Copies of this chain bind each other. A is one copy, B any other.
Amino acid sequence: MSKKPLIIDVHGHYTTAPAALGAWRDLQIAALKDPSQQPDPKSLKISDDELRESIETNQLKLMKERGSDLTVFSPRASFMAHHIGDFETSSTWAAICNELCYRVSELFPDNFIGAAMLPQSPGVDPKSCIAELERCVKDYGFVGLNLNPDPSGGHWTSPPLTDRHWYPIYEKMVEYDLPAMIHVSTSCNSCFHTTGAHYLNADTTAFMQCLQGDLFKDFPTLKFLIPHGGGAVPYHWGRFRGLAQEMKKPLLQDHLLNNIFFDTCVYHQPGIDLLTKVIPVDNILFASEMIGAVRGIDPETGHYYDDTKRYVAATPNLSEEQRYKVFEGNARRVFPRMDAALKQKGL
């Protein structure tokens, strides 16, 4: 590759939104007990300057320092908290959070492009999420979405992702050519720490649900991105190959890897080395989830744990051409609407 690749981070959340956002959410939650106190969404005022500052001093600063160009940006995952309230609660909250990400993408069009949070609610038909998703695509130019396989927050009361329950979302994804990151939110089950157990468990669970089923026969162009390096999956790739074999499924390459992709949110070099050794390079997309679960500096390296670009750059398992795929090429393929937006800018 003679051209320097565009560095696209496909997993960013707005974890640094101004405090007014959390304060409004607190009022909304308090009002669940006293509906007369329900706050008006219009009462939430966040100026462009506040948005700018929250980004320039955080994500954008780190992107410049680390050398990434564009982040697929969605509302803070742990704040989705779909288990709180009912559909109306989630609907109002998702609309607010998505709009903020849209405004960020308008303020920094070269650096951020949106992905939608859905107004999911436990026990509610996923069809109810379509209107918000359409709005995010049509009005906001969003290029992906986050799908929570467990809106109950750690009780896992929804059917598996292969169930027809979820098909209305998949139909819309296929229609708009949108990939979904399969991403849970806060755990309200005290057994599961949110970012240390629930997130990783959900990644493994989602992959295994797809392995057991035949979802991609019904939706051959559907695309799932499994975050956090695929949970436990690449480390146990032999186990999953063996389980597929026992279930008389095709090889994973054929059964799942036309539709399932993994990000690089694995916070140490040996993990990225394993990921890039085991998973075909066409299925790996660069991501950091920066200013997320793990914000500190690794005393063993002197660098941020979540500075995953360093690990991808340093791994001996990738040629330059393969590194281009991980940093840019695969993201363009998995997010066709982002690719189109980039091309429109001559990129």
Stretch of A27-35, A109-117, A268-276 lying at the B interface: A268-276
Q: Which residue of B lies closest to A231 (CB)?
A: B232
Question: Does residue A158 face the partner (Cβ distance < 8 Å to B)?
Answer: yes
Judge if A296 is at the interface, Cβ distance under 8 Å. Answer: yes
- In the complex, what residues of B have CB within 8 A of residue A122's CB? none
> How many angstroms between the C-alpha atoms of A197 and B213 in the bound complex?
14
Distance between Cα atoms of A239 and B304 in the complex (Å): 11
- Say whether, besides A191-B209, A196-B208, A242 and B267 are in contact (CB < 8 Å): yes
Cα-based distance from A189 to B160 in the complex (angstroms): 10
A189 to B243, CA, bound (A): 19
Bound-complex Cα distance A204 to B195 (A)? 11
Q: Is the CB of A190 within 8 A of B159?
A: yes
A189 to chain B, nearest CB (A): 6
Interface flags for A218-232 (1: CB within 8 Å of B; 0: not) read 000000000011011
Roughly how many angstroms separate A158 CA and B192 CA in the complex, as a whole number? 11
Tell me if A240 counts as interface (CB < 8 A to partner B). yes
Q: Is the interface of A mostly helix, strand, loop or mixed?
A: helix
- The answer, among B209, B246, B305, for a CB contact under 8 Å with A294, is B246
- CB distance B239 to A196 under 8 Å? yes
In the complex, the answer to whether B200 meets A204 with C-beta atoms within 8 Å is: yes
Q: Is A61 in contact with chain B by the CB < 8 A criterion?
A: no
Which of A81-89, A92-100, A149-157 sits within the interface?
Answer: A149-157
Given A191-B158, A211-B196, check contact A241 B298 (CB 8 Å).
Answer: yes
Q: Which residues A155-202 have CB closer than 8 A to chain B?
A: 155-156, 158-160, 189-193, 195-197, 200-201
Pick the most buried of A205, A293, A295: most chain B CB atoms within 10 A of its CB.
Answer: A205
- Interface flag for A37 (CB, 8 Å): no
| A237–B268 touching, CB < 8 Å | yes
A204 and B277 alpha carbons, distance in the complex (Å): 22
Q: Which of B197, B232, B246, B296 sits near A235, CB closer than 8 Å?
A: B232
Contact of A191 among B150, B193, B234 (CB under 8 A): B150
Contact between B193 and A238, CB atoms less than 8 A apart: no
Complex CA–CA separation, A236 to B265 (angstroms): 9
A270 pairs with B266, CB closer than 8 A: no
19 residue pairs of the A-B complex, CB under 8 angstroms, read A155-B155, A156-B189, A158-B191, A191-B205, A191-B209, A196-B239, A196-B243, A197-B208, A201-B201, A235-B271, A236-B267, A238-B268, A239-B267, A242-B294, A242-B305, A242-B306, A243-B293, A270-B277, A271-B274
